[in-house]
Structure 1
């Protein structure tokens, strides 16, 4: 849309810009003849103080040099006053100080496409005493820039009565509730661009006397969240609009009837809103319109073909993703000799074109995806010699005119024929495509030669055979290649060292062979070699790719140990603030199943090394990749234990370590994997008891079978070998305790008997000892009797 806007700029604005450019060129050639005004120089230096100039773009701004010779500064060749400041796209950061508007003769100010952080609006700005000459002001930031400049109010606009062009695209204005009144006080305003400004309110009952937009020619409010319904009053304020962009602004209801009063309208963009109902027939009376975009609404009816047929000036038509019905034939387009762009995606039209029809136009862009075109390839498309973009994906095509078809596809830069049933051999072609989508067809033979400018190649789900052409080594701009599910063979990875920009590589489900090279693109996100004949070891360089987050080397003949390295897979450890994501298409294997993946799953963190001949212990560094969601090491020869640090992989959803030689106990920390939806530890040598925890007990016995020494829920309780072992041990301990007690009691008995008979036997056998014993007993008895009687008499006296 931005490109279209630039291309279709109203003539008056182009004239203004041309005059400005001429004036700037003339003044820049003559600036050495005059001296810069001191007051202007001081204002420029104040402006410079807040700027961070990392690229040295304004390093010339110093008092040692006349300010008329400074970068971006242009002066009047007679007066020496600064008239223009052009610093657009200079890589500047820091602060925009609007004190720069104090320059009395400034007519042109462009600070667009920089990376400023703050806009400083001086309190004195509203006290400008001179009449402003400024007619061009551009503070816009890059349309998809993630950083946002905030501006609380637009009061500073009031003195700028000469302003004709105002662009604040990308600046956050959500705190400015009176933006419409502010811009309406600019009587000379011709073009207003407030795209992506977070504008939310739209005044419902304005005062017509107060709001004067009669001069407005261009209005862009796209990518906001205004959520208004049919503000007919607004478009009664101006009759001269030629460009109107209200795309993605949450408009709902029927198409605004007041739009039909804009007889000079040339460009109308209402795409990506919630419009519904019929398209008014009166739109066909907008004789000047050459760009009509209603894409992505809920519009319906069968009258749109007849409306289009009457718009003789139409060049650009985008009405895809609506609920239109009816019939489209050559009659619809017979008067449209200026047509360049058609997008009818996902419409239920019945297409009935005469086989011999030759259109009166030459298209550059044609999209008929998800429409019913087949089974024959539309013959009228063969006549289009200027096509730069052709999308006929999912259109039911199976039959082509071979010669015409091959001639057509060979010359189109963007070609998408995905999801059809075309059977052709294109091995002798050299395709000019930079974006090529032929996936999900029946193409046979060898792979075609491709333009060295190619950036996207998707030939998956076909029957291509043979090896990758040698010429593909020259694809130095390639960032996406998908050859999944063909019959290709040979050593494919020798090309990788040349594909230095590669982001996505999918060679799965083929018969490729060879080894994985050491030199790989540092930009790789996806590396998929699944189900081939690759052999050798895994190079450690693969685990040091900072942007890699989907690695699938499963079902190959790889051998040897896992690399001992740092495992510097940054995107598997931390999630970036702005996660990279774009549409991808491949089979994603997890949780014991396979899924067809689109952009919803394009940033899943996956490592799948299953069904190879890998051996040795798994390096502990692998378990530190805490963002991994799917880990599959099954059907290899890995040994060793599972370390406790696996509990830190808290994003894990699918874990398969089955059919290896892992041993030892399952660590208790695995119960912390709260997102785990699939677990398979079967057929290893794990022992001990399965840790108790809701997570690990939620899986059935099949997740643990084949580990004879493993017990505990969901397997049998630990009463088998482990239980017998504990019972035997306890029995032995009890027997030992009984033996000790018996020995103790026996010793005590023997000692008592020996002492008793030693003393009593002596008294019985020796008379002297016996008499002495009796005298001793009598003496002790007499003493006890005397003590007792003394105590008793003392008690009685008391």
Structure 2
């Protein structure tokens, strides 16, 4: 007789198919777990013919259709887990015939449209998990009648509409997670009827109606006579079955309302939620002060009130009974912490975020007693002076330290920068030489201070010690000397920022060892020489900003091989030669700035291949985020661009910016018609060159352009009529060309400054020159001039011919000598520009 088997667990065994086990009787199998395997074929039908099977788990197996359409004799099933696969609709109909099913998990798949009506038959469900799919409907009304539901998880979809008040019918529910959807309207007060509710997450929705006082007061009235008996809830799997002991819990323990539009003050009734363990109301519009009753939440371990509009004073009273508090996140508010120097907090924190609070002038003395602290963020808190020794000792236990944007001063010793993973001391007044970094540090920001001296010791000391540094920001300091040839052991570096220092010399060839480099920002130094060819090894580069230096030579053709480039800036250098057509391979390029060099030749006609500047359907992130580790350290790229005639620093929206600036060079030829296909381009500057011909007739296709500058060239003809289609245009400069005719009439063009049209032969608004009107000089005015134009005309004519002959003889010599002609043309452009600047 074959031995029977009731449970079979093969979780994560790396199976590609069900192994044959002929020596075992599977007919008695009740629990089968084949999760986290990689099956290459459909599940064998015999699995679904096990008549005694109660629980079947096939999550994370990579199936698109993991179950047959007509299984046999599988009536005993009570629990099904098909999560973390590639399931899409339709779901086999037999699944919905299991009215006795108690647990159904279809989370993390690709199910879309409406929530399947077939689930309405499963009235015995206790656990329903449809999280992280593509559902777009409202919550179906039949779901509100599932009185047996203990856990409902619909988070991470695109569900819409309002949550009906009939949600109060789910009287058995313990876990309710509707977060990360598009629900709107008011959070229903009927939640107060859910007496067993323990875990509530409504975060990251569009709730626009409702005040914090109404919501919290309704929740605080939930079954006030009942009492919690155990804190073991923190360690339970709330998405699975709930124990009988948990069924005795009648008060809310977990509440997350973050990421909505909840307004108003926090009510004092918050203290009635006396069994709260986790409270997150961050990223809302809550105002007023923090009530002292929050100090009554004795069970509270996690409190997050970040990114609201809270203000006022927070004192020791607010923390009176918070003995269990482990994480306090309150950044992004404008509160003042007022505690005595001798105060000893009742808690031992692990994580503390007080960014933008008023803590100054000293660092809080009570911090030195926080022996369990891992993460500490006190950015922009008004603290100043020399950092006390006890604080540097505290930093040795931290994983994350951020005290940026304060007025702290003094030198930073080597022992400070370790063993933390993330250290941000930027935007202070620290001075002295750079400290050496521990090998454990991943991110180091010492920017915008007064560090001085050479960088050689920082890079070249302890050469044989492995370096894990991923991000290094030393920008806007007083560093001098050359960048050393010591980059061989820094191969994890992805972000290097030395902008705004006084560095000299060449870029070292050893930087070619930085194979993970994504961003190289060296602008506004005194670097010179040519760009070393070894940089082409850094194929992951997204940002190259070398503007404001003294680099020479031509643009290397190999730059076209850096296919991930988003930003390329060589502004204000001494580059020469033509623009290589290989640049056209940079299809992801959003910002190209080659202005203020000595570049010649023509504009490559293949620039239309910059698809990131051309494709309207391209969806960009608002910022360019190159670093994010454990949500601690974030590095968002900054760039200074010249647009609309002024310098603008972009950071949070840099990912949405598209710009091309080739101004102040000696580029000749016409403006390629192909440029007009760059439909996403917002800024185009071709001014101060030697461009000729007409403005492309299809310029109106560039409907997103906001700033257009073709001034100081030799363009002729009329302004194209299609320019009236540029409805986003707010800055236009066509001055000092040879343009003629009437300025096209449109609301947009006539609203622009007239200075953008002067130095041409144009007429019509916004210029005062009227089209078609001839200037007639009255005879009386002529007599007042003191001479007769008819009698003296031969004298002035001969004088004019003499001057013209002498001028054109000299100019002819220059034009026949090409180098002199270019220099002379640029000289004239500079004169006109200066005169124009004085007049304006």
TM-score past 0.5 threshold = yes
1:213 maps to which of 170, 195, 198: 195
Separation in 1, partners of 2:130, 2:8: 18
1:516 maps to 2:556:
yes
Alignment partner, residue 597 of structure 1: 650
Deviation at 1:632, TM superposition (A): 0.9
* Alignment partners' CA distance in 2, 1:396 and 1:268: 33
CA contact (8 A) 1:647 1:670 kept: yes
Match of 2:579 among 534, 538, 554: 538
Cα deviation code 1:288-312 (max 9, x no counterpart): 3221111122323323455347533
**For each residue in 1:529-588, what CA deviation from the matched residue of structure 2 results, as whole angstroms up to 9, or x when unmatched?**
211233333232323433322211111232322223262222322323633221542222
Does residue 344 in structure 1 map to residue 397 in structure 2?
no
Answer whether contact 2:670 2:692 (CA < 8 A) is retained.
yes
CA offsets, 1:80-104, max 9 Å, x none?
9555544433244445678635446
- Look up the match of 1:224: 205
Residue number in structure 1 paired with 2:218: 233
Larger-Rg structure: 1
Alpha-carbon offset, residue 271 of structure 1: 1.1
Equivalent residue number for residue 258 of structure 2: 247
Instruction: Give the 3 Å change call, closer, same or farther, for CA 641–206 of structure 1 in structure 2.
Output: closer
- Alignment check: 8 A CA contact 2:493 2:517 kept: yes
Give unmatched runs, 5+ long, in structure 1: 1-19, 42-54, 725-798
Q: Is 1:580 equivalent to 2:621 in the alignment?
A: yes
Residues 34 and 79, structure 1, Cα contact 8 Å, conserved in 2:
no
Matched, 1:647 2:700: yes
Shift of 1:328: 5.4
Bigger drift between 92-101 and 595-604 goes to: 92-101
Secondary structure of residue in 2 paired with 1:428: helix
The 5-angstrom pairing of residues 121-270 of structure 1 reads: 121-122=116-117, 125-128=119-122, 132=124, 135-141=126-132, 149-153=136-140, 155-156=142-143, 158-159=145-146, 161=148, 163-164=150-151, 166-178=153-165, 180-182=167-169, 184-185=170-171, 187=172, 189-201=173-185, 206=190, 211-214=193-196, 216-226=197-207, 227-229=209-211, 230=213, 231=215, 232-237=217-222, 239-270=250-281
1:36-71 CA-to-partner distances (Å, cap 9, x unmatched) read 899x99xxxxxxxxxxxxx99785146487677995
1:412 lines up with 2:441 in the alignment: yes
Say which of 535, 540, 543 aligns to 1:504.
Answer: 543
How far, CA to CA, are the matches of 1:417 and 1:381 in structure 2?
17
Distance 1:681 1:207 in 2: 63
Say if 2:120 is the partner of 1:111: no
**Map of 1:727 onto structure 2:** none
Q: Distance in 2 between matches of 1:663 and 1:254?
A: 64
Specify whether residues 174 and 23 from structure 1 end up closer, same or farther in structure 2 by C-alpha distance, changes over 3 A only: farther
Whole-angstrom distance in 2 between the partners of 1:696 and 1:535: 36
Asked whether the 8 Å contact 2:283–2:306 carries over to 1, the reply is: yes
Asked if structure 2 preserves the Cα contact closer than 8 Å seen for 1:236 and 1:258, the reply is no
Q: Aligned partners of 1:577, 1:136: CA distance in 2, in Å?
A: 40
**What is the rounded CA distance, in whole Å, between the counterparts of 1:562 and 1:254 in structure 2?**
59
Partner Cα separation in structure 2 for residue 152 and residue 544 of structure 1: 48
Instruction: Report the alpha carbon displacement of residue 34 of structure 1 after superposing the two structures with TM.
Output: 5.8
* 1:393 and 1:420 in contact (8 A); partners too: no
| 1:582-613, Cα deviation, whole Å (9 max, x unpaired) | 15422221222222323246423211011223
- Partner-residue secondary structure (3-state), 1:324: strand
Q: Aligned partners of 1:451, 1:621: CA distance in 2, in Å? A: 42
Cα separation, 2, equivalents of 1:597 and 1:559: 29
CA contact 2:708–2:731 (8 Å) conserved in 1: yes
One of 385, 406, 410 as aligned partner of 2:396: 385
In 1, the alpha carbon distance for the partners of 2:697 and 2:153 equals 61
* 1:90 has 2:85 as partner: yes
Taking the aligned partners of 1:70 and 1:190, their CA distance within structure 2 comes to: 23
Deviation at 1:159, TM superposition (A): 4.9
- Cα deviations across residues 394-420 of structure 1 (Å, max 9, x unaligned)? 212342233344557524334444544
Alpha-carbon distance change, 698 to 218 in structure 1, aligned in 2, over 3 angstroms: closer
Worse overlay, 357-366 or 580-589: 357-366
Residue 462 (structure 1) shift: 3.4
Conserved 8 A contact 1:484-1:508? yes
For residues 165-185 of structure 1, what are the alpha-carbon distances to aligned partners after superposition, in whole Å with 9 as ceiling and x for unaligned? 635343414254136324x23
Alignment deviations for residues 242-290 of structure 1 (CA, whole Å, 9 cap, x no partner): 3221112333333244432333322211112233333233322323322
Q: TM-score of the superposition, structure 2-length normalised? A: 0.69
Q: Is the 8 A contact 1:377 1:400 kept in 2?
A: no
1:374 to 372, 377, 384: 384
User: Quick check: 691-700 or 167-176, which moved more?
Assistant: 691-700
Deviations 1:413-442 (A, max 9, x none): 344445444446544335744344444444
Unmatched 5+ residue regions in structure 2? 1-6, 51-55, 60-65, 224-249, 424-436, 460-466, 624-635, 778-840
C-alpha distance 308-62 of structure 1, shift in aligned 2 (>3 A): same
Deviation of 1:496 (Å): 4.9
2: CA distance between counterparts of 1:31 and 1:275?
61
2 CA distance for matches of 1:620 and 1:354?
Answer: 63
Alignment of 1:51-90 (within 5 A): 59-61=41-43, 63=45, 72=59, 82=77, 84-90=79-85
- Structure 1 residues 173, 715: CA separation in 2 closer, same or farther (over 3 Å shift)? closer
Cα deviation 1:632-659 (Å, max 9, x = unaligned)? 1122222332221123223333222223
Count of aligned pairs between the two proteins: 671
Of 665, 669, 685, the residue aligned with 2:722 is: 669
Superposed, 1:293-372 pairs within 5 Å as 293-308=304-319, 311-327=322-338, 331=342, 336-337=347-348, 339-353=349-363, 358-372=368-382
Change (3 A) 1:196 1:657: same
Question: How far 1:485 sits from its partner (Å)?
Answer: 2.2
1:388-787 aligned within 5 A: 388-405=399-416, 410=437, 411-423=440-452, 425-429=454-458, 432-446=468-482, 451-470=490-509, 472-492=511-531, 494=533, 496-514=535-553, 515-518=555-558, 519-565=560-606, 567-576=608-617, 578-582=619-623, 583-600=636-653, 602-684=655-737, 686-694=738-746, 702-707=755-760, 714=767
- CA shift, 1:24, in A, is 6.4
More helix per residue: 1 or 2?
A: 1
